Amino acid sequence: MTKTTREIGNEGENIAAAYLESKGWIILDRNYFFEKAEIDIVAFDRTQIIFVEVKRRSNTYFGRPEEYVTPSKEKNMKSVAEAWIYERKMETALVRFDIISIVQDGNSAPDITHFEDAFR
């Protein structure tokens, strides 16, 4: 049975969340929507709040996963992050935007690349 894009995305987000938790980070939220935009993971590394975009691909024939984070996606993430922070009255919190790129073909171990402070 073929997996849906959403199922593949959820698996990638689960891999990324486990990776971040293995670093001692706390996952604060997942799949947070504001208007029509979404943040995959909101995490806390004990110093700042990190908004994480997860991109997963089974190969790199058409480019690396992180190359699919467009300027438009960055803008949307910033808007969603502002809403998340506003709702929680955390306007003074330090924030950062990261990208986690995952390449995983079939049942092989995932190749995870973490781009900290990927954009401002």
Residue 101 pLDDT greater than 70, yes or no: yes
Mean pLDDT confidence for 81-88: 96
Residues in the chain: 120
Q: What pLDDT band is residue 1 in, cutting at 50, 70 and 90? A: low
pLDDT at 86: 96
Higher pLDDT, 110 or 108: 110
Q: Say how far apart CA 1 and CA 13 lie, in whole Å.
A: 21
C-alpha 108 chain-centroid distance: 21
Closest CA to 81 of 37, 119, 115: 37
pLDDT at 9: 81
Mean pLDDT confidence for 71-85: 96
Q: What pLDDT band is residue 63 in, cutting at 50, 70 and 90? A: very high
pLDDT at 31: 95
Helical spans, DSSP H, in the chain: 5-22, 71-87
Pairing mode, strands 95-103 and 49-57: parallel
Mean pLDDT confidence for 97-112: 92
Three-state secondary structure call for residue 32: strand
Q: Say how far apart CA 98 and CA 115 lie, in whole Å.
A: 6
Contact between 100 and 64 (Cβ < 8 Å) = no
pTM here is 0.93
Q: Tell whether domain 5-119 is in CATH 3.40.50.300.
A: no
What is the average pLDDT value for the chain, to the nearest integer?
A: 93
